[in-house]
Amino acid sequence: MPEPHRRGCGADSIGLVFVPSSPRCVTIDGAYEIQSVLPAFVTSVGLFVNPKAEPYLQTMVQADLDLRSVARARAPGARSGRT
């Protein structure tokens, strides 16, 4: 792992992507490994899109995440409702 990532780059939190279609997606083991080298004050945030309940909860626990961010993806062609 490159050295800047090991130090947390001075960040207060780090987002760990658990979206299978994302090129930045990490596994539970990968997330745990990343967190193991971060300072204790760095908050880990799991990023999810349309998660299914059971795998989502398992990931939160097994990856030892502090917080989560859950987004809902719109269906292709759906309008945002903004005018």
- Residue 9 located in a structural domain: no
The answer to whether residue 16 scores a pLDDT higher than 90 is yes
- Residue 33 located in a structural domain: yes
- Residue 42 located in a structural domain: yes
- Residue 81 located in a structural domain: no
- Confidence at residue 40, expressed as pLDDT on a 0 to 100 scale: 87
| Nearest by Cα to 43 from 51, 35, 52, 53 | 35
How far apart are the C-alpha atoms of 77 and 1, rounded to whole Å? Answer: 39
- Residue 31 located in a structural domain: yes
Provide the domain limits for residue 56: 14-71
- Residue 28 located in a structural domain: yes
Instruction: Kindly report, residue by residue over 31-68, the tens digit of the pLDDT.
Output: 999 999 888 889 999 999 999 889 889 999 999 999 99
The domain tally of the chain equals: 1
pLDDT, the chain, mean = 84
- Residue 8 located in a structural domain: no
- Residue 1 located in a structural domain: no
